[in-house]
Structure 1
Amino acid sequence: MAVMKAGLYISEKEVMVGELDKPTLKQGEALIRVSYAGICGTDMMIYSGKHPRAKAPLAMGHEFSGVIEELNGESAFSVGDRVVIEPTLSCGTCEACRSGQFHVCKTLKLIGIDMHGGFAEYAAVPLHRLHVIPEGLSDAHAALAEPVAVAVHTVRRSNLKVGDNVVILGAGPIGLLIGLMARQAGANEIIVSDISPYRLEKARELGFTALDAKKVDVTEEVLSLTNGIGGDIVFEVAGTQITAKQMVEVSRIQGQIMVVSVYKQAPAVNLAGMHFREISMATTRCYTGSDFKTAIQLMANGKIDVSPFISHELPLEQIVEGFKLMKNPDVSLKVLFKPN
């Protein structure tokens, strides 16, 4: 059987370049020659040995683009098409799936987490998980469709209205993309907090008000910037006890908190503080098929420019270096691998 190069998660905090069998297609699948694959926060969770489903050895990578090399089954796609992968895999039979909410499937799986993904020369992908990359959108930018879709879904699930003031706690890729999406939706002031000078500078470059949580009291600053009112919509994207506390403090009366982070440990939340100000809270998981298509369209028509997010492009042979870079938020935002 033919083999291929792959970047493999081996054990806690250990990745390496090795080999896997080149995928053999099942009916209804396409063989994708991977062009670009990005490291996500979930990949970092796998790398740290804290993901409950990912099993080593695994070619991670659920944010990726590529070219169709082979097809097995009837399809509107053609060999040679440039495509981006929508990595979610739903069961189709649970209550959520039966009601059309496939993204909250009871047993939702992802390519690159529950099976080999884009950190390899090739990946086998179900045909219904492929989207053609529009002309004019680069393969590298298309690889970020997945995190852009997360931002689309998050803002769509919020109550954001034109002219609202927005607070984003966390200036990682998702937090900053939510800021761009909130601007598209008509937000007025967009305030972003973080502890990384590098990521805060990115926030400023994108036109946001950036607060260094190491130097200022975030709650006091947000209230000062909003005339003592607070944010209409607060997006919690850092996943810490500190931001779980701040998200209530910086919200206005009858404001909304959107919890985007996946907390590894249950945080303490001031429910009484929410109660007396009638603050509402909603959560967001990933994205729908519609969100994913919208993400591609927004990038293709220039409404969302993801070029500032790509801090590094590395060959797959530098997978160890790539994860070291992603561990340091003062030097990286989004690291992309080029397997071929």
Structure 2
Amino acid sequence: MKAGLYVGEKTVQSALIDKPIPGEGEALIRVAYAGICGTDMMVFSGKHPRAKAPLVMGHEFSGIIESIADHVSFKPGDRVTVEPYLTCGRCAACRAGQYHVCATLKCIGIDKNGGFSEYVAVPVDRLHHLPDNVSDDEAALVEPLAIAVHTVRRSNLKVGDSVAILGAGPIGLLIGLVAKQAGASEIFISDISPFRLQFAKELGFICVNAKETNIKEVVLARTDGIGADVVFEVAGTQSTAKQMVECIKFQGTIVVVSVYKQAPVVDLAAMHFREISLTTTRCANSNDFATAIQFMEKKLIDVRPLISHRLPIEQIKQGFGYMENTEISMKVLFHL
């Protein structure tokens, strides 16, 4: 079968590999679209601690069930998207129903071959039906939208709250769209990429070019010096670790979405004196996926404007090249 293969640091190529044989409890999915995300870029750069070449990346994908053992809910021909998380089912988190923070959490496309291929074998209990009015390319963004849903839920955002988002990549923009659905009154977003800020502007957010202006100044000016009720840190830099504390209101909530490569310096004393809450978020659970699909089905959130490129898998090198340049890309999808 056709696949896009990670073969070493900064090196991907189109290849022919063996079609997977699904094991017990797995279904074989014929992939329609698969998207590149930040984690794939970490693998591509050779910096992911678990991913080893050769590997078929891709954990954001949609497709059709090619084959499946007898099942009450799914059958061959069903259109689906997939929760890509591989869990142990035995640790305390799994037993508590919080499998998305499994003690040994693994992921399709990182720990086993993923969606940058014509076929992929996935656990049946990670499948989600797709409504007829959700297209295959939209459905490849269900997983990042589910992460945004989970992130906003972790923030306990309330109707009327003001929100600051540090980072205008796909996840930052999706968080903004979900926050709007949750009742945010105004949404500030900062980034260093004019291209990505233009996306944010078209979505109705208050945009700040971080190369020119500190988002702290804009947020404080618009909130009478009080600060935002909720801050989402989605850039993973030392400067945004500083800004997240500067932008937040007394007794506000900061949600760290980024996975930091190096431990940042955070002003805990400044947080202490204003009783700031700090929380984190990892990925998403089944309820978050269901909500993301519902948002798409009811046309409450349109993810299509975020898709900047649709490429055949044979152009995997070009796709990763586009993703390295934030002035020309947002979400790159491969079609199989």
What's the TM-score once normalised by structure 1's chain length? Answer: 0.97
Q: Pick from 59, 62, 67: which aligns with 1:70?
A: 67
Distance (Å, rounded) in 2 between the aligned partners of 1:157 and 1:82: 30
Match of residue 87 from structure 1 = 84
Aligned-pair CA distance for 1:73: 4.3
> Which structure 2 segments of 5+ residues have no match?
none
Partner-residue secondary structure (3-state), 1:58: coil
Instruction: Work out the CA distance in 2 between the residues paired with 1:69 and 1:235.
Output: 39
Alignment of 1:56-135 (within 5 A): 56-135=53-132
Query: Which residue of 180, 184, 187 corresponds with 1:187?
Result: 184
Q: Deviations 1:236-284 (Å, cap 9, x if unpaired)?
A: 0000000000000011111110000000100000111111111110000
Q: What is the aligned partner in structure 2 of residue 296 from structure 1?
A: 293
Give a deviation string over 1:288-334, Cα, whole Å, max 9, x none. 11111111111111011001110000000000000010011111100
Structure-2 residue corresponding to 1:273: 270
Which of 246, 252, 258 does residue 243 from structure 2 map onto? 246
Establish whether residue 331 from structure 1 lines up as the match of residue 328 from structure 2: yes
Could you tell me which runs of 5 or more consecutive residues in structure 1 were left unpaired when the two chains were aligned: none
Q: Which sits farther off after the overlay, 68-77 or 11-20?
A: 68-77
1:31 maps onto 2:25 in alignment: no
- Which residue does the alignment assign to 1:282? 279
SS of 2:81 mapped into structure 1: strand
Encode CA deviations 1:186-237: one digit per residue, 9 max, x unaligned. Answer: 0001000000001100000000000001111221121112111110000000
CA distance in 2, matches of 1:60, 1:325: 16
Match of 1:6 in 2: 3
CA contact (8 A) 1:91 1:107 kept: yes
Question: What is the match of residue 171 of structure 2?
Answer: 174
User: What is the one-letter code of the residue matched to 1:322?
Assistant: G
Amino acid of the structure 2 residue aligned with 1:105: C
Q: Equivalences for 1:151-166 in 2 at 5 Å?
A: 151-166=148-163
Aligned to 2:204, the other structure's residue is in SS state coil
Which residue of structure 1 aligns with residue 261 of structure 2? Answer: 264
Within 1, Cα distance between the matches of 2:260 and 2:33?
28
Alpha-carbon deviation of 1:27? 2.0
Alignment match of 2:37 (pick from 40, 63, 76): 40
Give the 3-state SS of the residue equivalent to 1:42 in structure 2. Answer: helix
Residue by residue over 1:122-177, the C-alpha shift from the partner in whole angstroms, topping out at 9 and shown as x without a partner, is 10111111111111100100110000000000001112111111000000000000
Question: Contact conserved, 1:26 with 1:72, CA < 8 A, in 2?
Answer: no
Amino acid at match of 2:32: S
Shift of 1:78: 1.4
Q: Per the alignment, in what secondary structure is the counterpart of residue 80 of structure 2?
A: strand
Q: Match of 2:37, as an amino acid?
A: C
The amino acid across from 2:303 in the alignment is V
* Deviates further, 311-320 or 155-164: 155-164
Residue identity in the other structure for 2:118: E
Rounded to whole Å, the distance in 1 between the matches of 2:170 and 2:13 is 25
CA distance in 1, matches of 2:214, 2:294: 38
Q: Which moved more, 1:46-55 or 1:70-79?
A: 70-79
Runs (4 or more) in structure 1 with deviation over 4 Å come to none
Distance in 2 (alpha carbons) for counterparts of 1:6 and 1:72: 25
Residue 25 of structure 1: CA displacement? 1.8
TM-score (norm 2): 0.99
Aligned length: 336
